[in-house]
């Protein structure tokens, strides 16, 4: 796999049972790249390992005044220099390729899981954790995957130097062969403590990131209630905790680094002192002492990779644990059925139901007949949100209750693409990504509904005018006007209507809308209700709302109370014959009237102030 081949056509099915298993799975998935990196690493480190012996041979040739042997040593040094240079360049290239490809695979897996779970992901995993996994954790995982091959090559070089010294200068080779494992493993007892401190630091950083993301997401609300300073103080406290944890972690890693410098230095001093004694006694030649000294000095470089692999694993293991935790989430688990394509025990993937099927929720008893506009009234907004998720085939608890059925087929057992083609759920707080309005409507759709018709049904004429006025010079078509991230330049009602138009463009078999007009005024809401009813005529539409204007346009209204269907009928029938329904809806009507009175009062006060000032 080359960088130019990214993204992967299929990133595969990860082993998400644990962090270490996930790391092994990643490494196994790019054995070719690891093999290339290892081979170039062996070339690079073999050249480094050969330098001490070449220097020793060169010194012996000078002492013996052997010009021919000195010339051969010069040629050997040239070859070793070429091996070091070429090997280093290619090792860096292949190692970076392994890093990027591993990170890209993880990002693709996370993107696929995010698309599979949809809005359910943020309810099952903290937003800060998702951000941490998709940014910093991806880099740390890639770091460990690429460091493995370099570590193996460095370990080979260490063994090669020690074995070579045993044959070249046995007296000094024994000292080096005993001292090098001590140097390499000296920091091992400190690694668990360093790992715990690093884990604690990342935990604090994750909480700070989650707090920051939540604060940014709710910045408009915070400004409205004057809560910026409160949350800013909380973030300062969280960031200080991260700083303190980072300092404690850095102290431990500094101690490990100090050991990696101190012990090799002590070994070098021991070799020089002992070697000089042997030279004085005539037991070894000067060239052997130079070779031993150079070998120990050379070992400092490959021994650094022992520290690096320990750090890489320490930092990547928690990151891999978090990634595995996200990747192990599933829509649901089918209880029965024939084996799927993956063999016995694989997920069941039944055929899609025939067009014109009813939507039925066995848990609540809700039935949405095909081709009808069904409104659902829930006294509890949270219950309405959970019901909307269930109707889309995403039960929030992951396992509770039977699946929603479309034409008798369980939605959560269908292939994801098929389920989303059949049933589309729009949250009460939909997200608009940055880009042009034309790109916003570039979504998988049946093609039967044009964007212009959807915008008209959602009553977005004023939104188009606002986008056209804010567009830069040269942009005449509002469809080419840009929308800022999450539509922050638009009001809540404008964002809501654009999201509704986008949902209408997709034209699914079943469209589920959760409070699609909660941020618009009554006049616009009535027109939107007429637009939805007209555009979705003959298509199954389910709207969870308590607004009388929407309820009055529905073909049938279902009242959910206590998690079960309590009454069914038209809006007017239930309003006159069902006290519980009347209590829920009239409370909404009274609230709307109260808000209208407040708006009128505010307008009158403003007019009075203008008259007085005049």
- Tens of pLDDT, residue by residue over 197-216, are 877 777 777 677 666 655 55
Residue with tokens 């709302």: 545
What's the confidence (pLDDT) of residue 213? 59
Q: Which of 478, 398, 409, 381 is nearest to 439 (CA)?
A: 478
22-31 long-range contacts (CB < 8 A, ≥24 apart) are 22/320, 22/323, 22/324, 22/327, 23/141, 23/144, 23/145, 23/316, 23/317, 23/320, 26/102, 26/105, 26/106, 26/141, 26/145, 27/145, 27/148, 29/105, 30/1, 30/98, 30/101, 30/102, 30/105, 30/145
Alpha helices in 64-190 (DSSP H): 67-117, 120-124, 127-132, 138-168, 170-185
* Dist CA 572 CA 94 (whole Å): 71
Alpha-helix runs per DSSP H in 281-349:
286-327
What's the rounded Cα separation, in Å, for the pair 539 and 533?
A: 9
Tell me what pLDDT residue 336 has: 38
Rounded Cα gap, residues 450 and 445, in angstroms: 10
SS3 state at 558: strand
Give the C-alpha separation, 551 to 569, whole Å.
11
Residues of the chain with pLDDT under 70: 1-4, 119-120, 122-123, 126-129, 131-132, 206, 209-232, 331-349, 395-401, 486, 587-614
Through-space distance between the first and last CA atoms of the chain, rounded to whole angstroms: 76
Backbone φ and ψ for 423, nearest 5 degrees, come out as: -130, 125
Is residue 203 classed exposed, middle or buried when 0-12, 13-18 and 19+ CB atoms within 10 A define those classes? middle
Q: Judging by DSSP bridges, how do beta strands 423-426 and 405-406 pair with one another?
A: unpaired
pLDDT on residue 411: 85
Look at residue 127 in the predicted model and tell me its pLDDT: 62
> According to the model, what pLDDT value does residue 37 have?
92
Give the β-pairing of 510-514 and 423-426: parallel
Choose among 106, 528, 164: nearest CA to 316: 106
Selection from 495, 505, 500, 514 nearest residue 392 by Cα = 514
Domains present along the chain, CATH in parentheses: 3-327 (1.20.1560.10), 359-606 (3.40.50.300)
What pLDDT was estimated at residue 114?
82
- Residue 518's pLDDT is 86
Task: Look up residue 4 and give its two tokens.
Answer: 């130019």
Give the number of C-alpha atoms closer than 13 A to the C-alpha of residue 256, restricted to the C-beta side.
27
The length of the chain in residues reads 614
CA distances from 121 to 86, 116, 144, 326, 416 (A): 47, 9, 27, 8, 15
Give the pLDDT of residue 338: 40
**Closest to 267 measured CA to CA, from 203, 187, 175, 189:** 175
Look up residue 552 and give its two tokens.
Answer: 């009055």
pLDDT the model gives residue 217: 54
């Amino acid at each position: 796999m080359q960088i130019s081949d990214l993204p992967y056509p299929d990133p595969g099915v990860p082993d998400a049972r644990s962090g270490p298993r996930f790391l092994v799975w990643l490494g196994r998935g790019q054995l070719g790249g690891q093999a290339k990196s290892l081979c170039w690493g062996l070339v690079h480190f073999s050249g480094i390992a050969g330098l001490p012996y070449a220097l020793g041979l060169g010194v012996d040739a000078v002492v013996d005044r052997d010009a021919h042997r000195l010339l051969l040593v010069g040629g050997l040094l040239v070859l070793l220099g070429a091996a070091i240079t070429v090997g280093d360049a290619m090792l860096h290239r292949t190692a970076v390729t392994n890093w990027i490809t591993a990170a890209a695979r993880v990002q693709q897996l996370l993107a696929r899981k995010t698309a599979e779970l949809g809005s359910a992901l943020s309810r099952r995993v903290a937003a800060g954790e998702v951000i941490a996994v998709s940014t910093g954790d991806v880099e740390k995982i890639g770091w460990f995957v690429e460091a493995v091959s370099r570590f193996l090559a460095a370990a080979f070089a260490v063994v090669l130097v020690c074995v070579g010294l045993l044959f070249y200068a046995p007296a000094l080779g024994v000292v080096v062969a005993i001292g090098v494992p001590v140097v390499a493993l000296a920091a091992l007892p400190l690694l668990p403590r360093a790992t715990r401190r690093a884990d604690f630091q990342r935990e604090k950083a994750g909480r700070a990131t989650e707090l920051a993301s939540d604060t940014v997401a709710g910045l408009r609300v915070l400004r409205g209630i004057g809560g910026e300073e409160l949350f800013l103080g909380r973030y300062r406290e969280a960031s200080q905790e991260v700083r303190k944890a980072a300092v404690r972690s850095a102290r431990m890693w500094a101690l490990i680094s100090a050991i990696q410098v101190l012990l090799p230095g002590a070994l070098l001093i021991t070799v020089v002192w002992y070697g000089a004694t042997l030279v004085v006694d005539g037991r070894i030649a000067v060239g052997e002492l130079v070779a031993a000294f150079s070998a120990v000095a050379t070992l400092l470089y490959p021994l650094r990779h022992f520290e690096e692999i320990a750090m890489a694993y320490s930092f990547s293991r928690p990151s891999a644990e978090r990634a595995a935790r996200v990747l192990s989430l599933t829509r649901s688990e089918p209880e029965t059925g024939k084996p799927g394509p993956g063999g016995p025990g694989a997920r069941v993937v039944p055929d899609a139901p025939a067009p014109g099927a009813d939507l039925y929720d066995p848990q609540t008893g809700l039935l949405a007949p095909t081709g009808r506009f069904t409104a659902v009234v829930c006294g509890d907004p949270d219950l309405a949100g959970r019901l909307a998720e269930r109707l889309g085939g995403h039960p929030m608890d992951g396992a509770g209750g039977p699946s929603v059925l479309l034409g008798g087929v369980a939605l959560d057992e269908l292939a994801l693409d098929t389920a989303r083609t059949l049933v589309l759920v729009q949250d009460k707080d939909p997200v608009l990504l940055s880009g042009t309005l034309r790109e916003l409507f570039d979504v998988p759709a049946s093609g039967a509904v044009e964007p212009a018709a959807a915008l008209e049904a959602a009553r977005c004429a004023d939104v188009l005018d606002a986008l056209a006025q804010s567009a830069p010079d040269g942009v005449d078509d509002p469809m080419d006007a840009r929308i800022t991230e999450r539509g922050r330049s638009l009001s809540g009602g404008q964002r809501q209507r654009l999201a509704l138009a986008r949902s209408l463009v997709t034209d699914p078999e079943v469209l589920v809308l959760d409070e699609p007009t909660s941020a618009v005024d009554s006049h616009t809401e009535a027109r939107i209700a007429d637009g939805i009813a007209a555009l979705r005529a003959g298509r199954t539409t389910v709207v969870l709302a308590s607004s009388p204007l929407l309820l009055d346009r529905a073909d049938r209204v279902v009242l959910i109370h206590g998690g079960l269907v309590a009454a069914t009928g038209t809006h007017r029938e239930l309003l006159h014959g069902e006290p519980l329904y009347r209590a829920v809806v009239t409370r909404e009507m009274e609230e709307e009237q109260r808000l209208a009175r407040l708006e009128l009062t505010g307008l009158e006060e403003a007019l009075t102030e203008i008259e007085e000032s005049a």
